[in-house]
Structure 1
Amino acid sequence: MSDIEKLLKQAAMQIGAGGSAGFIEVCIMHPLDLVKTRLQLQATASVIKSSDPHYYNGVFDCLRKMYKYEGVTSFWKGIVPPILAETPKRAVKFVTFEQYKRFFMFGSSTPTPITFALAGLGAGITEGILVNPFEVVKVTLQSNKALASQVPSTWSVTRQIVRENGLGFKGLNKGLTATIMRNGVFNMVYFGFYHSVKGYVPEYEDPLLEFGRKVAIGFTSGVLGSCVNIPFDVAKSRIQGPQPVPGVVKYRSTTGAIVMVYREEGFRALYKGLVPKVMRLGPGGAIMLVVYDYVYHFLENKFQN
């Protein structure tokens, strides 16, 4: 087998494994992503009356009120854009991670923690550029607090955004820098920690213990990545979501949004949505990496046979 054929074979396995991992993760964890977005979009209690049925005091209060006022299907509002994006997104994430990893070897015969971190950063930046239009549509749908049956379709929201603001940085690519920073920082920590620690923690011969080892490392990687990148996630939600005053753009740039939230709402506001984010990306990170590993090895065995 030539080097090109070998490279294409590996890329095909990475695409299949990455797409499978992304699809399963988003279907299971999407409700928590929605809760995270709702909490990040709302201002402090001093600005919004706590008696408002759409003001949320936490994760479970948000879930309860959404169920009461919007119906159980509201937990999956905005799921179509991430489902459409997840297969190519995760495929791009894992394929580019492997390619960036080769680039950042810096003469070493084996990858180092710096290699994994920089490869993760590069993969996250590439991923962010690809998925940002889907994120704009998703946040628009997630911020709609009408009954799920009354929420416009993904396609109609996309057409409205393009019709009113175009494809550029005011329309379908609004908040691109924030998405790049969010995804880049997350994947830098996520891949850097996972692959570095996995190399130091001995593998188990028992399949169940080995599964637990991968889940534990993946869970920790997702939690750490979530804690580090959340200020960029808050900025992204504020930029891409509905502005406080209709027709007036308050949140324009990533840095400007972070500074404004800090000045007006305090340091803790930069970590709004951290609990549902950790609840989603802790187990979600474990699900994604474990599914990727198992599907990749399954495909590898199939190709060999």
Structure 2
Amino acid sequence: MAAESKIALQPPLSPFGNAVAGSLGALIALFITYPLDITKTRLQVQSKSDSSKIAKNEYYHSTKDAFYKIIASEGIFGLYAGLPAGLIGVASTNFAYFYWYSLIRSYYQKRSSSTSFSTTTELILGAFAGALAQIFTIPVSVITTRQQTTKSQDRKDLIGTTKEIISEDGITGLWKGLKPSLVLCVNPAITYGAFERFKDILTKRNNNDNLSPGIVFFLGALSKTIATIVTYPYIMAKVRLQWKPPKSDLKGGIEIEEDSSDFRRNMKYKKYKGAIDVLRKVLATDGIQGWYKGMQAQITKAVLSQALLFYMKEYTTRYTIFIFTLFAGLSAARRQI
């Protein structure tokens, strides 16, 4: 307890320190929730029309159905397909986000006379930080989506998947879905904006800046739920843009030749021009509910991972401060020797 009090009295973290703490929390959260991530991704790329075209054990009717069928066909490790790329992606994205968010927020705070920001200001700062993070890290998201939705026998490793994407679509293929990703920057903006507002309300009401981990967990879950419901159709559209449709119709488990008319029609229909085109075509085949396919898994995963992220960041921040201070002390001691 005394150690934690000493840690809490240390100076605030720099943007780099905040980025390290945020990334550590995000890595732990992703590892715990990854099976939900892969099930929601596979649900997002399936349409009603696929149910009669692919093998029964590869068409998923719900999150629970997907979970059991993936284990049955690929084993428990099937739920972690693409995990290395996912971990790299979440670490780099959260590192970039927390770095830019802390840097921009600190800069704005120095130039502003107010100690607290409005909700609008929080949203703008969060969206700007998210946009910068996405531009640098979206290639890993493209690779992860490809690995998650590729059959186990055709799935390549991180380097192989990267080479495949570049050979098929050029280097720009690694930035597929960038436009909807930039639009989706409003998701973390809503999340962090709502979290900061809820946190401010509770701290002012209780006259205490240190919220309990349980309250932090609840606020993170509530904030992410709101953000996910608002932005889900675009989340689905981004995944479909990054997805590569299989080279088969898989009717009855038998692959159809690539030059068949059925395959050409299927591929032409599933080749999207952009997020709006995805939404239009999904609406035509699956109705409005198609926009929210896999939402149960998405909300569970998003809420749980975000709540865990906020929860873990509270602790990783404390110990990151301790580690940074320790290294600073060691460096100072060496200079004196």
Q: Does 1:294 align with 2:315?
A: yes
Distance (whole Å) between structure 1 residues aligned to residue 34 and residue 50 of structure 2: 28
Q: Secondary structure at the match of 1:151?
A: coil
Structure 2 match to 1:200: 201
Q: How many residues align?
A: 291
Q: Does 1:232 align with 2:238?
A: no
Distance (whole Å) between structure 1 residues aligned to residue 59 and residue 323 of structure 2: 51
Pairing partner for 2:216 from 211, 214, 230: 214
Letter in 1 for 2:284: R
Distance (whole Å) between structure 2 residues aligned to residue 103 and residue 204 of structure 1: 26
Distance (whole Å) between structure 2 residues aligned to residue 166 and residue 17 of structure 1: 35
Pairing partner for 2:128 from 122, 125, 128: 122
RMSD: 2.5
Letter in 2 for 1:18: G
Pairing partner for 1:135 from 135, 138, 141: 141
Distance (whole Å) between structure 2 residues aligned to residue 144 and residue 211 of structure 1: 38
Letter in 2 for 1:61: D
Letter in 1 for 2:51: I
**Deviation, structure 1 residue 293:** 2.3
Structure 1 match to 2:255: none
Pairing partner for 1:157 from 153, 157, 161: 161
Structure 2 match to 1:99: 103
Distance (whole Å) between structure 2 residues aligned to residue 51 and residue 239 of structure 1: 23
Structure 1 match to 2:298: 277
Q: Does 1:48 align with 2:51?
A: yes
Distance (whole Å) between structure 2 residues aligned to residue 281 and residue 201 of structure 1: 23
- Structure 1 residues 204 and 83: CA distance shift in structure 2, 3 A: farther
Letter in 2 for 1:282: V
Structure 2 match to 1:185: 186
Distance (whole Å) between structure 1 residues aligned to residue 92 and residue 285 of structure 2: 38
Unmatched 5+ stretches in structure 1: 1-5
**Contact 2:19–2:97 at 8 Å: present in 1 too?**
no
Distance (whole Å) between structure 1 residues aligned to residue 273 and residue 62 of structure 2: 27
Q: What do the CA deviations read for 1:21-60 (whole angstroms, capped 9, x no partner)?
A: 121111111111101100000001x442286211111011
**Deviation, structure 1 residue 12:** 2.8
Larger mean Cα displacement after TM superposition, 195-204 or 127-136: 195-204
Q: Secondary structure at the match of 1:251?
A: coil
Distance (whole Å) between structure 1 residues aligned to residue 321 and residue 245 of structure 2: 48
Letter in 2 for 1:155: I
Letter in 2 for 1:144: T
Structure 2 match to 1:3: none
Distance (whole Å) between structure 1 residues aligned to residue 323 and residue 145 of structure 2: 39
TM-score computed with the length of structure 1 as normaliser = 0.87
Considering Cα pairs closer than 8 Å and 6+ residues apart, tell me whether 1 or 2 has the greater RCO. 2
